[in-house]
Amino acid sequence: MPHQSTISDLRARIVRRDLAARDVAESCLDRIRAVDPRVRAFLSVDEEDVLGQAAACDQAISDGASGKPLLGIPIALKDNLAVRDQPLSCASRILEGFASPYNATVVERLREAGAILFGRLNMDEFAMGSSTENSSVQVTRNPWDLERVPGGSSGGCTAAVAADECVASIGSDTGGSIRQPAAFCGCVGLKPTYGRVSRYGLVAFASSLDQIGPLTKSVEDCARLLSVLAGHDERDATSVREPVPDYTAALTGDIKGMKLGLPKEYMVDGLDPEVRAAVEAAVTHLSGLGAEFVEVSLPHTEYAIAAYYIVATAEASANLARYDGVRYGARRDGADPIEMYARTRGAGFGAEVKRRILLGTYTLSSGYYDAYYLRALKVRTLIKRDFERAFETVDAIVTPTTPTPAFKAGEKTQDPLQMYLSDIFTNSCNLAGICGLSVPCGFTRSPRLPIGLQLMGRPFGEATLLRLAHAYEQTTEWHKARPELAAP
């Protein structure tokens, strides 16, 4: 069935005219109708618009314009990416009824590449969460076990891909929000280097940490998407003028001689035994492919969670100050502006967003800025230097993506600290601004849940990570497994 295929397979069939873009779009729409009432990955889908885009793709092929890299491929979007005249709520009540007046840069690039963009995917409100339970609209479920979470904040993105509701999706990663749900749902998820992909049109959570990236069914699909998304953008001041390589050309299958680092700080006591075993087996497998492993040290890793939740919440406090009920979004009237602000923000923001705004405002306040925020920035610099030293001797770093497999819905909602620790292996990557990728590397026994292997690379070292992940993927079977929900 077309909805079960990869970008690479579909593009070849569409270009050969073995398959029409409309057939692919209808297959995905049928799949959404069949399984999304249980998975709840999508917030909305405009079927008429989807079929209109598909018809335009088929007409382009008939006219001989078949060179676009994503022509006719259905790709869904996280609900914090701006698409002109479409809803943009970030799964928050404070943006109910708001439609974007412009397109994000990544949306423009996907359309130029011929992709069919459809649907708004569920997420933790304003990307603040690790389970997609913080959405103000609905709770998304993990297709491998509907009693469990898909991860977050890009949980809708990974659940939709794992359930074959779309061929690929685009999410955002602030502290692990692409890689952690990719691990929980058995997908490939890439957080590019900070500045590699334009953030113009991404609703900001923490501006120095946020990065847009792909979620796919294969490493090759991930490389194809990154080749479209990456590149400098004048509208994003943090976008870097760095040449974009042909990422698919890096997928040689040869990793002989690559030197990989194993950080001792990541194999912690609380690591789930089955996750540990799967990662150790992956290390052995990569060694068999010719990679050389050495132990490296990232000594400031233990401070990453604390530093992250100071830097991220401080930036969130500043970014979310704009939602005041005056300019756009929901509004609750009051006797004076102060009461109006309080009522609007009190009703519009969920508990987790309020918690982070309060924490961020506190750490930026007079008397606490030096003690918390400034100190966290210094720790961030130390974490960055740890990685710089490690990359002097290794080509990439290999770790678990998450300390555990997907946990049950409701299991951690009353304990924010335990929820935050779900990202213990991923947020250092964001603090350092480097690239990171999660690829499936095994399953737990009972219940059968995916396990992810995380690869971290030098700034703008995505090609190295994709080469490594592709060599591993093509010599293992993990990526071929599908949840029973997504079976034909």
Catalytic residues: 78, 153, 177
Question: Which residue type, as a one-letter code, is found at position 123?
Answer: M
Which residues fall within 8 angstroms of residue 340, CB to CB, at 6 or more apart? Answer: 325, 331, 332, 333, 334
- Distance (Å, whole) CA 38 – CA 15: 34
CA neighbours within 13 Å on the CB side: how many for 416?
A: 13
CA distance 395 to 461: 9
Q: Which of 315, 310, 431 is nearest to 372 (CA)?
A: 310
In whole angstroms, what is the distance from residue 195 CA to residue 202 CA? 13
Alpha carbon distance 454, 179 (integer Å)? 8
The dihedral through the CA atoms of 118, 110, 191, 206 has a sign that is negative
Q: How many Cβ atoms from other residues are within 10 Å of residue 46's Cβ?
A: 16
Tell how far CA 168 is from the center of its chain.
Answer: 11
Residue in this structure with the two tokens 């132990």, named with its chain if needed: 295
Considering only CA atoms, which of 239, 246, 241, 249 is closest in space to residue 106? 239
Q: How far apart are CA 408 and CA 249, in angstroms?
A: 40
Order of strands, edge to edge, in the sheet holding 450-457? 42-44, 116-121, 74-78, 168-173, 211-216, 188-191, 435-443, 450-457, 396-400, 259-263, 292-296
Residue type, 357: I
Kindly state the tokens that stand for 394. 């290794």
Dist CA 184 CA 152 (whole Å): 9
Distance in angstroms (rounded) separating the CA atoms of residues 146 and 168: 21
CA distance 345 to 336: 14
Q: Which amino acid is located at 88 in the chain?
A: L
Rg value, the chain, Cα: 21
The secondary element (H helix, E strand) that includes residue 334 is: none
Q: Can you tell me the distance from the alpha carbon of 160 to that of 400, in angstroms, rounded to the nearest whole number?
A: 23
- Secondary structure class of 224 (helix, strand, coil): helix
